[in-house]
């Protein structure tokens, strides 16, 4: 790839970004789009409706940038929770790391690479037609003493990265503990989930639980709720809920705005009816169905051998969840309960063995998906090589000889197509994770996050780098000692692909994140067909899509910092843009649905350590290839040191993310002893984990009240 | 190797065994040898001294065999503890497994192998000169339908083995829980070890512990003892202890037997002194030294940031040891305490980081030792190949052509030399384990057991099988997909070596175990120089030597069951002999020094699973080699099933071996509530973990009393 092709790509994408951002600045001020751009503020009632027309509405303004920039971390923490703070710290961590790496790369390594003589330079004036390889390590001659500067850079960047990682891990663990210490009593802190309840002869699961915990945890046991099989009811209830919201909002608009709709297909055919009446009748029918279902389940007693057991103190719950309860480890299996609205109800029915097997099946399926996915990647990879494309589609020859077309194809198209394919992966991974037997949405999302991350790393990095048949790639990993050499040959060759990848996929994904193109389209269509002002959901930040993406760019940056430092400025632009855009979105768009207390950070840490090891492995291979075996050997201790550092962090910080300490729990419990509201809290705790499908429902009679607390646990 | 060479080897070793056993039957009846053959009974005072001469004393008698045979498991459990029962069950498990495998191997596989035609048979009458390969799978022609019988045997033996493993795991876990339930209150059940105690400003570690546990475990906390740095004192004390024992015994013989000894070198030179006076004076000097040391340490306050913390209930101790105590996981690190006399005092001083680093250093050292050890093994391996030996030492040509000499060399010498080298490995591994930072002798022995096991498997199995340079062998494992094929080529070729290995090393090690040749020699020398009736130690069974040996023969049996079923009868003889001999030794010789509650079994389970996987990997390679690719492919699901079985067992049984359940602990605690002796027990618990080096000593004044409880915790 030549410099001008890169510049074309940068130009196109910069243009797209600017257009998107400008459009956003204008569109966000239109009243019709508030559900798209500030749904969170709308839901919180903070958005003032500006109905009067104003010329200011049509001009782009940078006010939102300044608001996002000036947001302090405390404000972010209080409004969006610790998970969002951790998410933003991934970006600030990357900015810090790549600022240092960028200075080293651009001002030290880049000139050294350019001064090499492996690639023929015609003359200096013809810069646009020069290969990007001029700026990469490929240009440094074999055995050159200058490679020792690269060697020092490997050590330096590893040291900086480890220091930053340690600092962040320490900071986030302290934040996690601080958040817990300052939190109000919450149901999940007092509750555990028990699975594998044995059935005593003739009794029910409820009796078993009652007798077991009054026997062995008499001083702290409060109550229990046995889980029931309610997947059918859940469908009915969710229909009912959305209908209820719709009716409430319609009514809140007052009788003045009475609306009519046709009662046929999509509201387009049939006779005109009063829309509120119509919905209320529907709601009544649904409620009848649900009531019948509820009484049916209770009578049939379809209990699952799992229960939520609540305790009078956090420490009591922690004791029960940490100590193996029964002599048979497959019975009375305990774990800390998730937040009540975070519980994933459908998969409670699975037994110990079923969950174990479904977990194995999921692991197998993920592996298969990863392997099958290589086919589109291989095709996309072909597009970056014009010669291959011409032999494949001879009729394209005419078009491909045009400079602009060939530049677009090599610079832009491949990563765009790849990106399209990748869009379907996160939802699939989320489905896999939900089958795996996790009990909460947050656990599912965390697991999907890891899956998507490794999928991305394998398919976009290794499969592209080691392009070839699936078998060939697997072979590469079945001969571990050849890995550094193979990587050292293959990775630098793909430098230009990844530089354009950062520019195209990275920049574009950020601006489309800001622009929210799909919700905008959806909203516009609804505005057109006239069902605006209807119910809308405040989305939550899809961590399992965003975190892997950000981490993957980090992996690219770290592994190419030595090889092709030209990638670093583009990455820095990506992260700085991301810093503003994600802060803006967290403020205006996304609402946290649950709180894991920063449990996503260990994934970030592991992934960064992996990136470092990858960089070091490539360096080992590369110094060998460049006939500097001493440097190659001297890089090996760095690998060992990095592994030791990781091991130390796992011992020092990881336990904090698994559970809270006795010290911490007991302190909190003592604070609560003097709290007069605790009695009320414990009363409500008894029913906090009632299955939403089994809650007594009272919708049709309740629709006159606004903002009645729905099925979630009332906040204390 | 030909049949006659095998028969020579069997003959020699059978002879040696019979001689050893006959000699044992005679020598054990000699009064001079009671310290060698029944030290345990002597220590328990059960051995009656037969001083009158009797013709019966000179004739071998099989009474001990019958006594060992008739011993029931309950008796074994009550006299020697659960660890010895688990040890015997390894042998009975092997007998069961290899009985079934032996029937399949000898009556089905052996005839099939013999009917093959790959190796030329001259005629039937010349059996002694036929190669042993005739009876191995090498003799079956490629692509033969008969190989499907071998395929079925792989499945059948895996199924039998897994069934037996599951049954044993279940049985031993239930025994472990039963033993705990029926045990008397013991100090280690109520105590935890806390490490990484932070020092509050100005205070001592003792104050920190006191304030932390009264703050957070006020209801169950009983007392604590801070560990001190006492390695120098330990040396003095152990000298004193042995001197004290000697004096006590001399005195107990009464004034009638007053003895004199010269006070110079080894009691051979110098002037004659009353031996009791001489020792008492020495004891007094030592005591003075120790007292000074004790007060010195106390004054200097060389405390280590570790303490034994005792609780009023077992459940209280379990809670403190299971839940992370502090927000910083490297502080207040807790674990269940070992038995007081099992504590390994020297390594308490190491900090969290030091222990971690020394663990890594040990892992590295073990790897280096394993690699360096290949050199003698390679040499020994050369001896089995006469041609190599002749080229190496040309002057031996004349001797080596003699049939008997060559048979001895190929059949006997190699494994004998190997055995000599291997004798030094277990002590080295034990030293490594003790550096690793374990806090108890039992943990050290358990860890050394694993180390010796994997050392044996690597050096005696893989290094012999894949003979060649170290680099070549490592290469074999760096290309994982080629492993089955390489094993399938190499393992059958070594069949005759391992058959003789079982006969020589296996049988000989058992008979020398019975004969106790080194203690016998030591005792005879002492008898000669006249210091008999002196102090002697009752040995404990060295699990880290015996268990790896038994398991390694199991690995040989399982991996050769398909390849060379001729090994099985010899193995069965080994195990049956072992059954009688070890039971006899457990009854008469060894005394348990500590009780792990069967924690050695998981090692046995893992090792057997590894053997099964090895057999299956060899089968995969072999069926491929024998041009039966379908059978090769169909063996792969068996590998997966075996891994799943292992995973299930780890989930189902392993937690039982890690800790006792809440149910179990609380039940025990409730039983004790009504026990009137508990108050006394708790009083004594306070001082149970006092460092023996810091106990107030009172030897010189105390020597008149017999059998005064020494430094161990008084039994309750």
- With a cut of 50, say whether residue A713 has pLDDT above it: no
- With a cut of 70, say whether residue A472 has pLDDT above it: no
Q: So what's the pLDDT on residue B205? A: 87
- With a cut of 50, say whether residue B710 has pLDDT above it: no
By the 10 Å C-beta count (0-12 exposed, 13-18 middle, 19+ buried), A272 is classed as exposed
- With a cut of 60, say whether residue B263 has pLDDT above it: no
CA-to-CA distance for B654 and B604, rounded, in angstroms?
12
Q: So what's the pLDDT on residue A130? A: 73
Task: Tell me the pLDDT band of B300, cut-offs 50, 70 and 90.
Answer: very low
The answer to whether the CB of A373 falls within 8 A of the CB of A469 is no
Contact assignment for A329 to B656 by CB distance below 8 Å: yes
Q: B655: which chain A residues are within 8 Å (Cβ-Cβ)?
A: 324, 329
Classify B632 in phi/psi space as left (phi over 0), alpha (psi -120 to 50) or beta: alpha
Q: So what's the pLDDT on residue A711? A: 41
What are B136-189's pLDDT values in tens digits? Answer: 888 888 888 889 999 999 999 999 999 999 999 999 999 999 999 998 899 999
Q: A325: which chain B residues are within 8 Å (Cβ-Cβ)?
A: 661-663
Q: Determine contact: B659 vs chain A, CB below 8 A.
A: yes
Provide the percentage of residues in chain A whose pLDDT is more than 70.
81
**What is the mean predicted confidence (pLDDT) over B453-468?**
79
The order of strands in the sheet holding B303-311 is B221-228, B303-311, B191-195, B333-336
Q: Best interface-test mutation with A: which of B317, B324, B367 has the largest number of A CBs within 10 A?
A: B324
Contact assignment for B661 to A478 by CB distance below 8 Å: no
Contact assignment for B323 to A324 by CB distance below 8 Å: no
**What is the mean predicted confidence (pLDDT) over B267-291?**
72
Q: So what's the pLDDT on residue B470? A: 55
CA-to-CA distance for A513 and A582, rounded, in angstroms?
8
What are A572-585's pLDDT values in tens digits? Answer: 999 999 999 999 99
User: Does residue A169 or residue B55 have the better pLDDT?
Assistant: A169
What are B340-361's pLDDT values in tens digits? Answer: 988 888 766 667 778 888 888 8
User: Nearest residue of A to residue B212 by CA position?
Assistant: A663
Q: Determine contact: B325 vs chain A, CB below 8 A.
A: yes
Stretch among A161-170, B378-387, B645-654 having the lowest mean pLDDT: B378-387
Query: Shortest Cα distance from A15 to chain B (angstroms)?
Result: 50
From chain B residues 522-561, the ones with a CB under 8 A of any chain A CB are: none
User: Does residue B68 or residue B118 have the better pLDDT?
Assistant: B68
Q: Determine contact: B364 vs chain A, CB below 8 A.
A: no
Provide the percentage of residues in chain B whose pLDDT is more than 90.
31
Q: So what's the pLDDT on residue B611? A: 95
Contact assignment for A662 to B216 by CB distance below 8 Å: yes
Q: B666: which chain A residues are within 8 Å (Cβ-Cβ)?
A: 215-216
- The set of residues, in sequence order, having a beta carbon less than 8 Å from that of A496 and lying 6+ positions away, is A1, A6, A132, A133, A564
**Helices first, then strands: H and E counts in chain A:** 32, 6
User: Nearest residue of B to residue A360 by CA position?
Assistant: B644
Contact assignment for B326 to A661 by CB distance below 8 Å: yes
Q: So what's the pLDDT on residue A706? A: 41
Contact assignment for B644 to A323 by CB distance below 8 Å: no
In 3-state terms chain B splits into helix, strand, coil percentages (rounded to 5) of 70, 5, 25
Q: So what's the pLDDT on residue A382? A: 64
User: Does residue A704 or residue A389 have the better pLDDT?
Assistant: A389
User: Nearest residue of A to residue B180 by CA position?
Assistant: A327
Q: Which of A512, A516, A503 is nearest to A574 (CA)?
A: A503
Q: Determine contact: B478 vs chain A, CB below 8 A.
A: yes
- With a cut of 60, say whether residue B71 has pLDDT above it: yes
- With a cut of 70, say whether residue B539 has pLDDT above it: yes
Task: Tell me the pLDDT band of A486, cut-offs 50, 70 and 90.
Answer: confident
**What is the mean predicted confidence (pLDDT) over A436-460?**
89
Phi (first) and psi of residue B56, to 5 degrees: -60, -30
**What is the mean predicted confidence (pLDDT) over A19-48?**
82
User: Does residue A570 or residue A691 have the better pLDDT?
Assistant: A570
Q: Best interface-test mutation with A: which of B213, B219, B661 has the largest number of A CBs within 10 A?
A: B661
CA-to-CA distance for A406 and A488, rounded, in angstroms?
28
Name the residue facing B327 among A360, A651, A656 (closest C-beta). Answer: A656
Contact assignment for B325 to A663 by CB distance below 8 Å: yes
- With a cut of 80, say whether residue A590 has pLDDT above it: yes
User: Nearest residue of A to residue B475 by CA position?
Assistant: A481
- With a cut of 60, say whether residue B367 has pLDDT above it: yes
Q: Which residues is A195 bridged to in the sheet?
A: A306, A333
Contact assignment for B325 to A655 by CB distance below 8 Å: no
User: Nearest residue of A to residue B654 by CA position?
Assistant: A329
**DSSP 3-state of B141:** coil
CA-to-CA distance for B243 and B280, rounded, in angstroms?
8
Q: So what's the pLDDT on residue A153? A: 94
Q: Which residues is B335 bridged to in the sheet?
A: B193
Q: A653: which chain B residues are within 8 Å (Cβ-Cβ)?
A: 329
User: Does residue B17 or residue B469 have the better pLDDT?
Assistant: B17
- Concatenating the DSSP letter of every residue in B227-243 gives EE--HHHHHHHHHHHHH
Q: Which of B525, B534, B536 is nearest to B275 (CA)?
A: B534
From chain A residues 367-406, the ones with a CB under 8 A of any chain B CB are: none
Q: Determine contact: B472 vs chain A, CB below 8 A.
A: no
CA-to-CA distance for B310 and B688, rounded, in angstroms?
9
User: Does residue B710 or residue A308 have the better pLDDT?
Assistant: A308
Q: Determine contact: A642 vs chain B, CB below 8 A.
A: no
Task: Tell me the pLDDT band of A388, cut-offs 50, 70 and 90.
Answer: low
What are B609-662's pLDDT values in tens digits? Answer: 999 999 999 999 999 888 889 999 999 999 999 999 999 999 899 999 999 999
Query: Shortest Cα distance from B94 to chain A (angstroms)?
Result: 26
> B567-588 and B73-104 are packed helices; what angle lies between their axes, rounded to 10 degrees?
170
- With a cut of 90, say whether residue B56 has pLDDT above it: no
**What is the mean predicted confidence (pLDDT) over B195-218?**
87
Q: Where are the alpha helices (DSSP H) in A561-628?
A: 567-588, 601-625
Q: B326: which chain A residues are within 8 Å (Cβ-Cβ)?
A: 661-663
> A352-372 and A374-383 are packed helices; what angle lies between their axes, rounded to 10 degrees?
20
Q: Determine contact: A670 vs chain B, CB below 8 A.
A: no
Q: So what's the pLDDT on residue B703? A: 46
- Residue A420 token pair: 């399209």
How many residues comprise chain B?
Answer: 716
Q: B318: which chain A residues are within 8 Å (Cβ-Cβ)?
A: 323
User: Does residue A38 or residue A634 have the better pLDDT?
Assistant: A634
What are A184-236's pLDDT values in tens digits? Answer: 899 999 999 998 888 877 788 888 999 999 999 989 999 998 888 777 777 77
User: Nearest residue of B to residue A654 by CA position?
Assistant: B329
Task: Tell me the pLDDT band of B691, cut-offs 50, 70 and 90.
Answer: confident
Q: Determine contact: B663 vs chain A, CB below 8 A.
A: yes
Q: So what's the pLDDT on residue A358? A: 87
User: Does residue B682 or residue A390 have the better pLDDT?
Assistant: B682
Query: Shortest Cα distance from A656 to chain B (angstroms)?
Result: 7
Task: Tell me the pLDDT band of A646, cut-offs 50, 70 and 90.
Answer: very high
CA-to-CA distance for A662 and B327, rounded, in angstroms?
8
Contact assignment for B327 to A478 by CB distance below 8 Å: no
What are B121-141's pLDDT values in tens digits? Answer: 555 566 667 777 778 888 888
Q: So what's the pLDDT on residue A139? A: 83
Contact assignment for B356 to A648 by CB distance below 8 Å: yes
Contact assignment for B661 to A326 by CB distance below 8 Å: yes
User: Does residue A247 or residue B195 have the better pLDDT?
Assistant: B195
Question: How much is the pTM?
Answer: 0.84
Q: So what's the pLDDT on residue A121? A: 59
The answer to whether the CB of B188 falls within 8 A of the CB of B336 is yes
Query: Shortest Cα distance from A477 to chain B (angstroms)?
Result: 9
Stretch among A274-288, A648-662, B119-133, B516-530 having the lowest mean pLDDT: B119-133
Question: Of A563-567, A673-677, B170-174, B493-497, which one has max mean pLDDT?
Answer: B170-174
CA–chain centroid gap for B656, Å, is 21
What are A364-375's pLDDT values in tens digits? Answer: 899 888 877 767
Task: Tell me the pLDDT band of A411, cut-offs 50, 70 and 90.
Answer: low
What are A320-333's pLDDT values in tens digits? Answer: 999 999 988 888 98
**What is the mean predicted confidence (pLDDT) over A477-493?**
77
Q: A648: which chain B residues are within 8 Å (Cβ-Cβ)?
A: 356
Handedness of CA A704, A706, A710, A715 (dihedral sign): negative
CA-to-CA distance for B562 and A130, rounded, in angstroms?
65
Query: Shortest Cα distance from A662 to chain B (angstroms)?
Result: 5
- With a cut of 60, say whether residue B677 has pLDDT above it: yes
From chain B residues 65-104, the ones with a CB under 8 A of any chain A CB are: none
Contact assignment for A329 to B666 by CB distance below 8 Å: no
Contact assignment for A323 to B327 by CB distance below 8 Å: no
- Residue B367 token pair: 């790897």
By the 10 Å C-beta count (0-12 exposed, 13-18 middle, 19+ buried), B557 is classed as buried
Task: Tell me the pLDDT band of A710, cut-offs 50, 70 and 90.
Answer: very low
Mean pLDDT of chain B: 82
Q: So what's the pLDDT on residue A131? A: 76
Classify A532 in phi/psi space as left (phi over 0), alpha (psi -120 to 50) or beta: beta
Q: Determine contact: B655 vs chain A, CB below 8 A.
A: yes
**DSSP 3-state of B192:** strand
Q: So what's the pLDDT on residue A547? A: 94
**What is the mean predicted confidence (pLDDT) over B324-335?**
89
User: Nearest residue of A to residue B483 by CA position?
Assistant: A478
- Residue A189 token pair: 């802190």
Q: A317: which chain B residues are within 8 Å (Cβ-Cβ)?
A: none
User: How many CB atoms lie under 10 A from the CB of residue B463?
Assistant: 22
- With a cut of 50, say whether residue A712 has pLDDT above it: no
Contact assignment for A481 to B478 by CB distance below 8 Å: yes
Q: Where are the alpha helices (DSSP H) in B105-185?
A: 110-115, 147-181
Contact assignment for B644 to A360 by CB distance below 8 Å: yes
The answer to whether the CB of A233 falls within 8 A of the CB of A300 is no
- With a cut of 50, say whether residue B290 has pLDDT above it: yes
Task: Tell me the pLDDT band of B673, cut-offs 50, 70 and 90.
Answer: confident
**What is the mean predicted confidence (pLDDT) over B103-107?**
93
């Amino acid at each position: 790839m030549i410099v001008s092709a890169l510049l074309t790509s940068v130009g196109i994408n910069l243009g797209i970004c600017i257009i998107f951002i400008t459009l956003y600045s204008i569109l966000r001020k239109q009243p019709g789009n508030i559900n798209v751009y500030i749904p969170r503020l709308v839901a919180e009632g903070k958005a003032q409706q500006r109905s009067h027309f104003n010329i200011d509405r049509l001009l782009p303004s940078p006010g939102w940038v300044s608001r996002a920039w000036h947001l302090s971390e405390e404000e972010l923490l209080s409004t969006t929770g610790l998970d969002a703070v951790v998410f933003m710290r991934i970006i600030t961590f990357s900015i810090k790391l790549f600022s240092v790496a960028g200075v080293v790369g651009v001002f030290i390594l880049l000139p050294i690479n350019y001064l090499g003589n492996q690639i023929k330079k015609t003359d200096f004036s013809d810069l646009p037609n020069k290969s990007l390889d001029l700026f990469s390590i490929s240009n440094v001659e074999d055995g050159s003493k200058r490679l020792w500067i690269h060697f020092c850079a490997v050590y330096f960047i590893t040291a900086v990265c480890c220091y930053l990682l340690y600092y962040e891990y320490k900071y986030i663990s302290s934040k996690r503990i601080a958040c817990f210490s300052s939190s109000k009593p919450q149901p999940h802190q007092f509750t555990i989930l028990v699975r594998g309840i044995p059935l005593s002869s003739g009794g029910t699961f409820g009796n078993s639980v009652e007798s077991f915990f009054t026997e062995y945890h008499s001083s702290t046991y409060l109550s229990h709720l046995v889980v029931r099989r309610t997947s059918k009811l859940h469908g009915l209830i969710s229909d009912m809920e959305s209908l209820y919201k719709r009716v409430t909002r319609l009514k809140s608009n007052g009788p003045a705005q009475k609306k009519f709709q046709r009662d046929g297909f999509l509201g387009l055919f049939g006779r005109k009816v009063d829309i509120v009446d119509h919905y209320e009748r529907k709601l009544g029918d649904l409620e009848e169905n649900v009531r019948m279902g509820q009484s049916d389940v209770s009578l049939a007693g379809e209990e699952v051998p799992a229960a939520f057991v609540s305790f009078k103190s956090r420490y009591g719950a922690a004791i029960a969840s940490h100590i193996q309860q029964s002599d048979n480890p497959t019975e009375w299996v305990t774990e800390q309960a998730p937040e009540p609205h975070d519980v994933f109800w459908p998969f409670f029915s699975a037994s110990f063995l079923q969950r174990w097997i479904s977990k194995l099946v999921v692991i197998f399926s993920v592996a298969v998906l990863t392997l099958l996915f290589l086919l589109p990647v291989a095709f996309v990879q072909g597009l970056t090589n014009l010669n291959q494309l011409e032999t494949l589609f001879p009729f394209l020859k005419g078009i491909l000889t045009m400079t602009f077309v060939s530049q677009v194809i090599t610079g832009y198209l491949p990563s765009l197509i790849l990106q399209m394919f990748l869009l379907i992966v996160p939802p699939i991974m989320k489905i896999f994770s939900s089958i795996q037997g996790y009990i909460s949405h947050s656990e599912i999302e965390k697991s999907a996050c890891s899956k998507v991350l490794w999928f991305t790393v394998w398919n976009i990095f290794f499969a592209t780098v080691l392009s070839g048949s699936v078998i060939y790639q697997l072979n590469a990993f079945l001969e571990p000692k050849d890995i550094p050499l193979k990587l050292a040959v293959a990775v630098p060759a793909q430098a230009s692909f990844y530089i354009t990848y950062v520019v195209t996929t990275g920049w574009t994904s950020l601006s489309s994140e800001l622009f929210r193109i799909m919700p905008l389209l959806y909203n516009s269509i609804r505005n057109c067909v006239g069902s605006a002002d209807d119910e809308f959901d405040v989305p939550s930040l899809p961590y399992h899509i965003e975190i892997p993406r950000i981490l993957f760019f980090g992996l690219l940056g770290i592994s190419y910092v030595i090889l092709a430092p030209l990638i670093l400025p583009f990455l820095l632009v990506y992260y700085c843009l991301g810093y503003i855009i994600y802060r803006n979105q967290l403020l205006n768009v996304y609402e946290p649905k649950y709180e894991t207390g920063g449990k996503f950070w260990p994934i970030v840490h592991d992934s960064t350590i992996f990136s470092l090891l990858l960089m070091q492995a490539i360096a080992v291979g590369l110094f060998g290839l460049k006939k500097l075996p001493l440097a190659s050997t001297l890089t090996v201790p760095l690998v060992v040191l990095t592994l030791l550092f990781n091991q130390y962090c796992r011992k020092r910080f990881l336990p904090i993310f698994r559970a809270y300490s006795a010290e911490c729990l007991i302190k909190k419990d003592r604070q609560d002893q003097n709290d007069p509201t605790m009695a009320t809290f414990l009363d409500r705790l008894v029913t906090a984990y009632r299955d939403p499908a089994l809650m007594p429902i009272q919708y049709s009679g309740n629709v006159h009240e606004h903002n009645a607390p729905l099925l979630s646990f009332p906040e204390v």
